[in-house]
Chain A
Amino acid sequence: MRSVGSKVTGVAGAALLTLLLFPIYWMIASSLTPESRLFQSPPLLPSTLSLDHYRALFDERDFLIPIRNSLVVAATTTMVALPVAALCAYALARLRFRGRGVLLALILAVSMFPQISIVPPLYLILRELRLLDTYPGLVLPYVTFSAPLAVWLLTAFFRQLSPELEEAAMLDGASRLRALWDVVLPLAVPGVATAAILTFLYCWNEFLFALSFTLGPERYTVPVAVTLFRGRYQVPWGQVLAATVVATVPVALLVLTCQRRIVAGLTAGASKG
């Protein structure tokens, strides 16, 4: 029975994996297929490989600029949002104050607004502040939208940690902030890393704000740049796919490396065994 069960699980797992990975495979394979063959009924294995699309991407389009923009915006947002979210989450997880539940719900509600509904007001605000087509003009809205999720994640994570560890640190002479820095954060590394990855991914993939608040190729982020590849008469699918590969691979690598670093069980042995 058990072997049948495990076989079924194995087959289901393989099927799911194929389903998930096939588009990625297709994307990579097509990005290496010469333009002329892209629309012939395609074989599963490409017969000729070429790097033409990639060359065009970097020589003709200077795709490094949107990559740089996306990196700057995503990294800055992560670096701004996480400390704010961590402090906020710590307060929500540990301090007793009136209206804590309501506050937590409100924070979540912020991230539930349909983005499109606040594009016009945000546009006006950013124009007033002369932040249109600048990095801060993207970072600020991104922080507002990504911080709530980080707050929720970290609140849940901090709550799992034994308060006695911070109490011990405070009796050892540390202030609450020092205890947070020395004891809580090192133990919350898995949660902080998860929150950082999600924040980074949100910014990396965000499209609507980036499209609305940037005005030219100098500030386009990757999703905007790729969308605007299309010319008046044709869509350069090969380049679009090559760009997608370029945009996906670094992020996939980042997530995979960070995942290794997320060492579960770091807190094992904190208390009685």
Chain B
Amino acid sequence: MAAVRIEAVAKTYPNGHRAIRHVDLAIDEGEFVVLVGPSGCGKSTLLRLIAGLETPTSGRIVIGDADATGLPPQARDLAMVFQSYALYPHMSVRDNLAYGLKVRRLDQAVVAQRVADVAAALDISALLQRRPAQLSGGQRQRVALGRAMVRQPKAFLLDEPLSNLDPALRAQARAELRRLHRRLGVTVVYVTHDQEEAMTLGGRIAVMRDGAIEQVAPPLDVYARPANVFVAGFIGAPAMNFVPATLAGIDAPAGAVAGIRPQDVVLGASGQLQAVVDLVEPRGHDHLLHLRLDASGVPPLLAVVAGGAPPALGAGVLLTLPRERLHLFDGRTGTRLS
């Protein structure tokens, strides 16, 4: 187990594509850090840079106390779980788990013991004789995870390991991953495009866009105080509403943008703004309303209202944007103002 430090790393491909513009990130020993962002933001590239599957154009990658920038993947002692799982199709589950240990020439008895331990921990002992093709998606995911665990590496790198599971299984696997991390206390770097996964899993989350990190903080801090418009819009579901600050009725520099989460919009008998109900999406315990504001040039506002009978389609409603719930951003740069 070890800390991982990424220092001023940039990656430009030979074709000129700048996958990583400039990234600094220090991951503590035993920490669970999630890299999250839309596709093409460079999160997978960053993970591959840590793994040694790509070499940075500039900057340093430090694993533990040693500079690992020039080391090939096999010398870094990291384990990676791929999105496709990348299980060796011609080997049994047992051989898949044992491969990394055999390559390192560990004693056979030790290999057998560790494989048995990991298989028991992941509940895949009954599958050891099978080939990957004979496993379900969930089982493959466990084997891939087991292959990483059995090595007891310095850090785990996980590249969207849950994205090929169906939603029910995904929630279950997510909870298992958390428990596993709590029990093993290992360093984990986890890549996902799913902000909900990032929120629930990460000790800290690093929100990325266009090859740079926009904000690094514990999930609730990112949710409560997003550093800029992009992070505010990306983290949290449904996405945050943005309206001109003047419309929200507060003093702010010219051009400032006010953001408010749909859960914070208050509908009532009185209110500062008038709107028409454009669409109602029932969600079970609550409803998601799409509201068309009277003011022109403003995109529809989303609001979450408690269950019961929602307002009728086309009905006029009054709504309040509580001041203490507003996030203020600079209109030009998008950075947080308050």
Contact at A169–B133, with CB atoms within 8 Å?
no
Interfacial residues, chain B to chain A (CB-CB below 8 A): 14, 51-53, 72-74, 76-80, 82, 84-90, 99-100, 103-104, 131-137, 140, 147, 151, 164
A174 to B52, CA, bound (A): 13
A187 within 8 A of B: yes
A182 to B91, CA, bound (A): 10
Which residues of A have CB within 8 Å of B84? 162, 164, 270-272
Known A-B contacts A172-B151, A269-B132; the reply to A167 vs B73 at CB < 8 A is yes
**A168, A186, A267: residue with the most chain B Cβ atoms closer than 10 Å:** A168
Contact at B132–A168, with CB atoms within 8 Å?
no
Task: State which residues 230-273 of A face B: CB under 8 Å.
Answer: 266-273
Interface of B is mostly: loop
Which residues of B have CB within 8 Å of A267? 89
A156 within 8 A of B: no
Contact at B78–A171, with CB atoms within 8 Å?
yes
Within 8 Å by CB of A162, from B73, B77, B86, B135, lies B86
Annotate A203-247 by CB proximity to B: 1 below 8 A, 0 otherwise. 000000000000000000000000000000000000000000000
Contact at A173–B89, with CB atoms within 8 Å?
no
B101 shortest CB reach to chain A, Å: 9
Contact at A170–B72, with CB atoms within 8 Å?
yes
Which residues of A have CB within 8 Å of B137? 272-273
A165 within 8 A of B: yes
Contact at A272–B85, with CB atoms within 8 Å?
yes
A178 within 8 A of B: yes
Within 8 Å by CB of A270, from B76, B80, B89, lies B89
Closest-by-CB residue of B relative to A272 is: B164
A273 to B135, CA, bound (A): 9
Q: List 30 A-B contacts (CB under 8 A).
A: A162-B86, A164-B82, A165-B86, A167-B86, A168-B87, A169-B103, A170-B53, A170-B73, A170-B74, A171-B52, A171-B79, A171-B100, A172-B74, A172-B99, A172-B103, A174-B74, A174-B99, A175-B72, A182-B88, A183-B88, A186-B90, A187-B89, A187-B90, A266-B89, A269-B134, A270-B86, A270-B87, A270-B88, A270-B89, A273-B133
Closest-by-CB residue of B relative to A187 is: B90
Contact at A273–B140, with CB atoms within 8 Å?
yes
Which residues of B have CB within 8 Å of A271? 84-86
A272 to B84, CA, bound (A): 5
Closest-by-CB residue of A relative to B98 is: A172
A268 to B98, CA, bound (A): 21
